């Protein structure tokens, strides 16, 4: 199912490498993104929904971190 995202993931990862985004930046994004989701959606987001967003974020982040690692290696 994630294959439908492959073109977008490739574009994002290429941009991340071009702008020097590293794996160690992903936790900071999660720390900002998840509270922002709660702030914007308010009562529509309970702990279960927020946990699901966190799980989805880290699932995608892991894919991107691995792809970016390969792109950095290819560029070296």
Determine whether 72 is an active site residue.
no
pLDDT for position 55: 97
Q: What is the pLDDT of residues 36-46, one digit of tens each?
A: 999 999 999 99
Domains held by the chain: number: 1
Determine whether 24 is an active site residue.
no
Kindly tell me the burial class for residue 55, based on how many C-beta atoms sit within 10 Å of its own C-beta (0-12, 13-18, 19 or more).
Answer: exposed
Q: Is pLDDT above 80 for 1?
A: no
Whether the pTM exceeds 0.85: the reply is: yes
Q: What is the CATH number of the domain that holds 23?
A: 1.10.490.10
Out of 26, 31, 55, 72, the active site residue is 26
CA neighbor of 31 nearest in space, from 13, 47, 12, 54: 54
| Domain enclosing residue 43, as ranges | 2-75
pLDDT for position 28: 97
Which two three-digit tokens encode residue 32?
């900002």
72 and 17 Cβ atoms separated by less than 8 Å: yes
Q: Is pLDDT above 90 for 2?
A: no
Which two three-digit tokens encode residue 44?
């529509």
């Amino acid at each position: 199912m994630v294959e439908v995202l492959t073109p977008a993931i490739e574009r994002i990862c290429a941009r991340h490498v071009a702008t020097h985004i590293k794996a160690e930046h992903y936790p900071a994004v999660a720390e900002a993104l998840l509270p922002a989701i709660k702030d914007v959606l308010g009562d529509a987001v309970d702990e279960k929904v927020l946990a699901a967003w966190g799980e989805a974020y880290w699932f995608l982040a892991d894919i991107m971190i691995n792809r970016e690692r390969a792109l950095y290696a290819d560029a070296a």
